[in-house]
Every structure is written in C-alpha cells, then in structure tokens.
C-alpha cells in the first residue's frame, strides 16, 4: 500500500477502535471522543483533558447536532490538524 492509502486505512481503523466501544459502532459519543483525543492526539490537543474544552470540541465537530461524531465529522478535525501541522512544518523551514 502507498503511504497515503496506509494513512487512510490507519485513520479508519483508529476511528473504529473508539467508535465500537459503546452504543452505535459507527459514531463516537463524547466519552469515546475523549478517549480518542487523549490517546491518539494528546500531543496535539492537550485541551481534551479539560471538560469545558472537550464539550466545545464535541459540539464543534457534531455539525448535524445528533449528539455523536460520525466519520465525516471526525474527518474535518483530521483535515484541520493536518493543515495546521503542514503549516507548522513549512514555517519551520
């Protein structure tokens, strides 16, 4: 597999690992999102430890307001973080 296909596969696998923990196996509830943010994105998003910040992140991601974060909504976070990291590395050159 190419690097990008590998990255896509790992993103899906990581999302599913947390989405399957409780309730609907295709979406993240707030507890699942918190675990994913802490375990997988802790280096980038320390805010996930703060309840108010977690509430804000969850509400911002849950754009259709069904009280869960599906893969499309999660994908927006990944894209934003990827763009931020890309800008960071460009500015470091």
**62 near Ca ion, rule: CB under 5 A:** yes
**59 near Ca ion, rule: CB under 5 A:** no
* Shortest distance (Å) from residue 82 CB to Ca ion: 21
**Binding residue count for Ca ion, defined by CB under 5 A:** 3
In a 10 Å sphere around its CB, with 0-12 CB exposed, 13-18 middle and 19+ buried, how is residue 57 labelled?
buried
Q: Which of 9, 39, 59, 64 binds Ca ion (CB under 5 A)?
A: 64
How many Å apart are CA 57 and CA 77, to the nearest integer?
Answer: 9
Give whichever of 6 and 63 is closer to Ca ion, judged by the CB atom.
Answer: 63
At residue 69, the 3 state secondary structure works out as: strand
Give whichever of 48 and 68 is closer to Ca ion, judged by the CB atom.
Answer: 68
* Shortest distance (Å) from residue 40 CB to Ca ion: 19
At residue 28, the 3 state secondary structure works out as: strand
Contact 23, 29 (CB under 8 A): yes
Binding region for Ca ion (CB under 5 A): 62, 64, 66
């Amino acid at each position: 597999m190419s690097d990008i296909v590998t990255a896509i596969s790992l993103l899906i696998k990581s999302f599913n690992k947390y989405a399957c923990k409780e309730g609907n196996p295709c979406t993240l509830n707030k507890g699942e999102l918190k675990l994913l943010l802490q375990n997988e994105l802790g280096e980038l998003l320390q805010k996930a430890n703060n309840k108010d910040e977690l509430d804000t992140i969850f509400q911002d991601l849950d754009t259709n307001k069904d009280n869960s974060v599906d893969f499309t909504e999660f994908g927006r976070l990944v894209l934003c973080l990827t763009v931020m990291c890309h800008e960071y590395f460009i500015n470091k050159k």
